[in-house]
């Protein structure tokens, strides 16, 4: 089990890793300023790139957005991008604990249907 913290402008996230899953606790805002960093850190550090024999890799990632107060359109694109990257690598990515404001935006843009339709991995934990 381990924990790591990363920062971008207006966004901080902490990784909590266990043998079963990696949880990413996000704090702040996912906006144009932080979206690129957010995507690259999740894709490069969290989503495994290979499934070598005998190597422990995460098969499940939980993005905890309970402390995310705002997401702009670039941030929504970043969420979709990391979710798609996880799907391509056969990793379940669950997006949980959206604040009411963020949940409303995700529902308005119909991204909740995309996440639910593909794996049913969206909602409250």
Cα distance between residue 28 and residue 34, in whole Å = 10
A 10 A CB-CB count for 59 gives: 14
Domain 2-123: which CATH number of 3.30.310.160, 3.40.50.150, 3.30.750.24, 3.90.1300.10: 3.30.750.24
Provide the token pair at 101. 């404001």
- pLDDT tens for the chain, 125 residues long, are 456 777 777 899 898 988 788 899 999 999 999 999 999 989 888 887 555 554 556 688 999 999 999 999 999 999 999 999 998 888 888 888 988 888 888 889 888 877 764 443 444 44
Q: Where are the domains of the chain?
A: 2-123
pLDDT for position 11: 92
pLDDT for position 31: 93
Report CA torsion sign: 44, 49, 53, 56: positive
**pTM here?**
0.79
């Amino acid at each position: 089990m381990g924990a790591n913290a990363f920062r971008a402008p207006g966004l901080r996230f902490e990784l909590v890793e266990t043998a079963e899953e990696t949880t990413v606790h996000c704090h702040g805002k996912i906006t144009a300023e932080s979206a690129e960093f957010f995507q690259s850190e999740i894709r490069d550090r969290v989503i495994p790139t290979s499934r070598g024999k005998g190597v422990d890799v995460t098969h499940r990632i939980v993005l905890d957005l309970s402390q995310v107060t705002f997401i702009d359109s670039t941030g929504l694109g970043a969420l979709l991008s990391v979710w798609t990257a996880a799907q391509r690598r056969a990793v379940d990515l669950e997006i949980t604990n959206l604040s009411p404001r963020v949940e409303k935006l995700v529902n308005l843009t119909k991204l909740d249907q995309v996440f639910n339709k593909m794996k049913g991995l969206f909602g409250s934990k």
